[in-house]
Amino acid sequence: MTTRQLHLNAFLMNTGHHEASWRLPESDPYAHVELSHYVGLARIAERGTFDSLFLADGPQLWGNLAQRPAGALEPLTLLTALATATEHIGLIATASTSYNSPYNLARRFASLDIVSGGRAGWNIVTTAGAEAARNFGLDAEPAHAERYARAAEFLEVARKLWDSWEDDAIVADKAAGVWGDDRKIHPPRHQGTYFAVEGALNVPRTPQGYPLLVQAGSSEDGKAFAARYAEAVFTAQQTLADAQTFYADLKSRTRAAGRDPGHVKVLPGIVPVLGSTEAEARAAERLLEDHIVYEHGVGRLESLLQLPAGTLRLDGPLPADLPPESAIEGAKSRYTLVVELARRERLTVRQLVGRLGGGRGHLTFAGTPEQVADEIETWFTQGAADGFNIMPAVLPSGLEAFVEHVVPLLRARGLLRTGYGPRQTLRERYGLPRPANQYLTPDPDPAPALV
């Protein structure tokens, strides 16, 4: 038994993370806009005592409708509905710092945090791609470094807004007719490069103070941002060695940024494909691969690699002369991960498309529940992970199988809680402190701290 415990996050994505999952007989092709589908998933994850669930997002209609389910309920809307259908699980959504204003977004996360009793988390993204930019009046996406500079300022403003009410600003003195104490309200009066925000938020400080701050970019800019702000990091790592390098690097960057490295939890993604034998698991994996339309995958790969359409041949390798990551203005770390995966394993384009179809660059692991639990334990105990972002290939069945067959093993090994116990905030589940209010006047006669 160890006292250090795994953190598990359920990454929910309509019929599953495998691009062909919607074609299976069991799958609901309208799942992406069915509240009941997501309520079912959230409740399964809560049965598995996951720390949190997560919804990715981008403010554009992705890709080609013919190929696979597109569109999604706006994630904070969906999480609010899930907040009322669950009791313990954390609720994390992606939202873009490039295409939102701090006042509106800070308020929406504060509102979700209140409605959920302190279970809100924000996966902070800068949003790559010209398609999104063109939905917001821009011709092209801002440069990568500029997106991150804006993100940093966005975070600073959001934290000022979340701190703009002291926790005890509401007095509620009915007899005197005094509702609140204006001296405990702190307008940000922010004048920066990207934002000017004058007034205090119109929501009181929330149970968590700030939502849990999550980040998933693994580029240089992304890692620097994570070291400064993130409390949980989602990352795609294909090998234990790569994951260990990433883990050590991020913890050391966090220390260098003056923060406790224990206050950044690293969660690699894993796509578990389960079978009661290894052969059964491999067969399940092949069944999914058989449903991939490879021509579609090649087009998406060309777009990711910024190659003209028609460049790649299905049974050939990637071109040798791809540009370096520094020349890419889009999703930098994903670009490198895909190129390295193809080169390391000498994959043909067809094989690469098959691999990406399963988890878009995340580690797919087909095996028995014991094998999956072993893999998780190894990464967790060998300095590669504080937990995992569980990305079932097929939903709901893959999540159900994980909760039914892998979770009991993790519990038996002392790696995962057996129940939620008393209600906790999402921060408390992740072992993170509630942030102090930056505006708080030190108490001239402080009582002893109760920590």
Q: Considering only residues 191 through 230, tell me which ones interact with its own copies, judged by CB under 8 A.
A: 195-204
Work out whether the CA dihedral 278, 284, 285, 286 comes out positive or negative.
Answer: positive
**Nearest distance from C-beta of residue 329 to its own copies, angstroms:** 18
Closest alpha carbon to 87 in 53, 55, 54: 53
x-or-dash string of contact with its own copies, 347-376, rule CB under 8 A: ------------------------------
From CA 254, how far away is CA 241, in angstroms rounded?
A: 20
Specify which residues 125 forms β-bridges with.
96
The residues in 33-62 that bind its own copies, with binding defined as CB under 8 A, are: 33, 35, 58-62
Choose among 53, 17, 52, 155: nearest CA to 96.
155
Query: 79 exposed, middle or buried (CB, 10 Å; 0-12, 13-18, 19+)?
Result: buried
Q: How far is the CB of 293 from its own copies (least distance, A)?
A: 5
Kindly tell me which of 115 and 248 has the beta carbon lying closer to its own copies: 115
From CA 419, how far away is CA 48, in angstroms rounded?
Answer: 9
Size of the site for its own copies (CB under 8 A): 77
Using CB under 8 A as the binding rule, whether residue 256 contacts its own copies is answered as: no
Query: What one-character DSSP code corresponds to residue 405?
Result: I
Quote the least distance from Cβ 114 to its own copies, whole Å: 5
Q: Which of 1, 3, 177, 320 binds its own copies (CB under 8 A)?
A: 177
Where on the phi/psi map is residue 127: left (φ > 0), alpha (ψ -120 to 50), or beta? Answer: left
Min dist. Cβ of residue 379 to its own copies (A):
34
Stretch that binds its own copies, among 16-24, 208-216, 256-264, 297-305 (CB under 8 A): 16-24
Calpha distance 368→273 (Å, rounded)? 8
Residues numbered 277 to 306 that lie near its own copies (CB under 8 A) are 291, 293
- Which of the residues 137 through 156 are near its own copies (CB under 8 A)? 137-138
How many whole angstroms from its chain centre is CA 407? 21
Out of 100, 244, 348, 424, the only residue in the binding site for its own copies (CB under 8 A) is: 100
Element containing residue 222 per DSSP (H, E): helix 220-229
**What part of residues 67-96 is at the interface with its own copies (CB under 8 A)?**
67-74, 76-78, 80-81, 83-85
Residue closer to its own copies (CB basis): 171 or 256:
171
- Select 268 or 354, whichever has its Cβ closest to its own copies: 354
Asked if 121 and 214 touch (Cβ cutoff 8 Å), the reply is yes
Identity of the residue, 1 or 66, whose beta carbon is nearer to its own copies in the bound complex: 66
Helix, strand, coil percentages, rounded to 5, for the chain: 40, 15, 45
* CB closer to its own copies out of 161 and 406: 161
32 close to 14: Cβ distance less than 8 angstroms: yes
If the CB atoms of residues 40 and 317 are measured against its own copies, the closer one turns out to be 40
DSSP 8-state assignment for residue 413: T
Print the binding letters for residues 101-120 with its own copies: x by CB under 8 A, - otherwise.
Answer: x-xx--xx-xxx-xx-----
Residue 163 CB coordination number (10 Å): 22
Work out which of 182, 315, 321, 445 binds its own copies, going by CB under 8 A.
182
